[in-house]
Each structure stands twice: as structure tokens, then as C-alpha cells.
Structure 1
Amino acid sequence: MNKVLVLVGDATEELDAMYPIFRVREAGYRADVAALTRRDVQLVIHDFEPESDAYTEKNGRRLPVDLAFSEVDPTEYAGLVIPGGRAPEYIRLDADVRRITEYFFARDLPVGTVCHGPQVPAVYGLLKGRRTAAFGPLAGDMVNAGATVVDEPDVVDGNMVSCRGWPDLPEWSRAFVSVLERSSAPA
């Protein structure tokens, strides 16, 4: 089982998706991309500019999708990645995203969240009693979901590895691949 599932949608942050996809491939895993449908998704680029009170958003690349959420058999995957951007706000409403996410948490399999990614497990009550990093403005949402927010680039809590956003991806990737390899190692 050398595959990792990546849950995306339109407005997924480009670095949040592409960096983990390339990193798990580099570690010898196949990265399958899933979305609401099989059509390519429009990634976005978020940046922080001095003349803006919030992050700015520009269109990024289009990302090919391997399968729809409804087609995912989570038993085929060693780990799950939920990138950030605006996509977590709406993909978390999909019943299959819930089914997939709960599967990984119930079996203590590796789950990586980046930036806004923790919004997905948070809405299902899966962060209660857990430590997580997240995009700074989400701290109140994470606390309301029962999590302890940790302001670090690579927060490991059991099977879950989280970070605050794309600047943390080098540290997050090392930690996530380590958890993935440990989980995938023969007993």
C-alpha cells in the first residue's frame, strides 16, 4: 500500500498541494488526487502584500484529478493529505470527504493538514483533544473544535501532522514523510 490520497478542490492553494504531492512521490509513494469530480481543479496562489489587510489570491496552475471523492476506496491508501486554500471550506461539506477523513482517523493512519486543511477534520469533531497547527486566523475555530493550537511549522500529534501554511512545508514534509514511513513499515 504505497499510495497517498490528496483531497483538493478549486481554490486549493498551489504550494499547499503541489509541494506535498511532489514530496510524497520523492519518498516513493504514489500521490492520487481526488476532488468533487474528475475535471482538473483550478489552484490558487496566496500571498501577503503590504497594501492588503488579508492575503491576496491569484489563479495558479490547473491540477489534474485522478478520481472523484465518491470513487475513493480509502483502504488503498497509506496516508491522507488535506491542503489549504479556500477548498477545505466547501469540500468538508461532501459526505465522501467525511467518510474518507473519518476512515484515516479511526485507523490511526497518517493525516497531513496544511494551512486551512484542519478545517476538514475539525468540522467532524476529529480534533477534540488533539494538538494542531493551522493558518493563524483559524485559531479560534480550532479551539472551538476542541483542539490545542500550536504555533509551530511541524506539529505531530500521533498520526496527524499539521502546519500553519506553505512557508512551513519543508519542516511539515519531513515530519509527514517520517510518520508515513513509520506507519507503513512492516510490523
Structure 2
Amino acid sequence: MKKILFLTGDFTEDYETMVPFQMLEMVGYEVHTVCPDKKKGDIVKTAIHDFEGDQTYTEKPGHNFALNYSFDEVNVEDYQGLVIAGGRAPEYLRLNKRIIEITKYFFANNKPVAAICHGIQILTAADVVKGRKLTAYPAVGPEVTLAGGEFQSIPADGVFVDGNLVTSPAWPAHPSFIREFLKVMGAKIEI
């Protein structure tokens, strides 16, 4: 069974953690959800971000999400793909040296990476977007440009694929985001 490493953390966006995790497990992947300084069984608090006509998203308390793997036990060579959730978690996760090392490993080995919304902040901090085309939540666009990437401004339900990298602006893109990640992972689903 192929394994996917899933980076998340406190105040991650609720849908951007729960929905991709469930979708990837549904199709048969073993998905290890991890957060620095936490172990299997610990929880991360999530936040629900919604688009209600304001100048930016609104934020409400989400669910408690139980991690199913311990961060300290991660061996990157065991995983065929990496998923990075958005929300507020990436702004502090990108300060963790091991998170940056993990992210660089997947890019250095050309393994599939999917990042959504603010999850792209981890990619820019890891210095892996130079020369790449990708999208993110619009407020993260300047970071992509400063890091040498080509920011793609697309609708919130869109997805952008550049080689092994799959990115989307926000959770409304989940169907296309996961579909394209599955293609990059080499999955074949027949209906």
C-alpha cells in the first residue's frame, strides 16, 4: 500500500485537513497525519474558513482532528507523496527545521507534492518554488513571487499542476485538487 505524508497543525483549515485525508484513505492510501511536537493520538484544533463576501475569509472554530502518526517517527523514504494543508498552521510550521527538510526531500526526489491555500507558505520557506508555476490563496501570491515562483491567479475552485506539484487556492477546489494529485501519484480509478 502506498503511503502519503500529510502535514497539518493547530488551526489548520478544517476542510483542508479532514476532506483530503478522508478522500485519500477512501481510495486506498495509507495517510500519516503529523504535526511537530505531537504524537499519534494527539489532536490539532482546526478552524473553518469561509467566503462570506468580506474582504477576506471569515474564521470560526472547527473540529478537533486526531493525528494518526507521530512526527518524530517519520522516515521520509517511506512515503510516495506529500500533502500540506492550509489555514493558519503553515505560518508557524514553516519555522520548524524538520518540516523544511521534509519538504525539500520530496522536491529533491521528484515525488508528488500537493499543497493548498496557505500550505504554500511551507513551500516558499523551503525555497522549492523557484522557476515553478503554482497557485495559492491570493494573499500568499506575493510570497510565491518573492520566492521566485510564477504565481497563477485562478478561481478558488481551480487547481494548477506543474510536474510533480499540485496546488489550489482553497478548499472549494477539493474535487479537482485531489483528482489531479491522484493522477500525479499514478492512481487509476475506474468508474
Structure-1 residue corresponding to 2:79: 77
Indicate conservation of the 8 Å contact 1:41/1:65, yes or no.
yes
1:162-181 equivalent positions in 2, closer than 5 A: 162-181=167-186
* Counterpart mapping for 1:31-180 below 5 A: 31-36=31-36, 37-38=38-39, 39-50=42-53, 52-152=54-154, 153-180=158-185
Matched, 1:29 2:32: no
- TM-score, normalised to structure 1, is 0.92
What secondary structure, in the 3-state scheme, does the structure 2 residue paired with 1:19 have?
helix
Q: Are the counterparts in 1 of residues 100 and 125 from structure 2 also a CA contact under 8 Å?
A: no
Q: Distance in 2 between matches of 1:142 and 1:95?
A: 20
Is 1:4–2:7 an aligned residue pair? Answer: no
* Distance (Å, rounded) in 2 between the aligned partners of 1:53 and 1:164: 16
Alpha-carbon separation, structure 2, partners of 1:123 and 1:95: 10
Contact 2:6 2:32 in 1 (8 A): yes
Aligned residue pairs total 181
**Contact 1:11–1:43 (8 Å) recurs in 2:** yes
Q: Gaps (5+ residues) in structure 1?
A: 183-187
- Kept in 1, the 8 Å contact 2:84–2:119? The answer is yes
Q: Distance in 1 between matches of 2:12 and 2:60?
A: 11
Letter in 2 for 1:40: I
Could you tell me how far 1:142 is from its partner in structure 2? Answer: 0.7
**Partner SS state of residue 179, structure 2:** helix
TM-score (norm 2): 0.90
Could you tell me which amino acid in structure 2 is paired with residue 154 of structure 1? V
Deviations 1:57-113 (A, max 9, x none): 111111111234332111111100001000000011111111211110110000000
Match of 1:116, SS state, is helix
Preserved contact between residue 69 and residue 96 of structure 1 (Cα < 8 Å)? no
Determine the C-alpha separation between the residues in 2 that align with 1:109 and 1:53: 36
Ranges of 4+ aligned residues in structure 1 off by more than 3 Å: none
Structure 2 gap ranges (5+): none
On the 8 A contact 1:42/1:62 being kept in 2, the answer is yes
| Distance in structure 1 (CA, Å) of the matches to 2:62 and 2:162 | 31
Which residue is equivalent to 2:17? 17
Fraction of identical pairs, as percent: 38
- Deviations 1:27-86 (CA, angstroms, capped at 9, x unpaired): 210111000212200011001234x43221111111111234332111111100001000
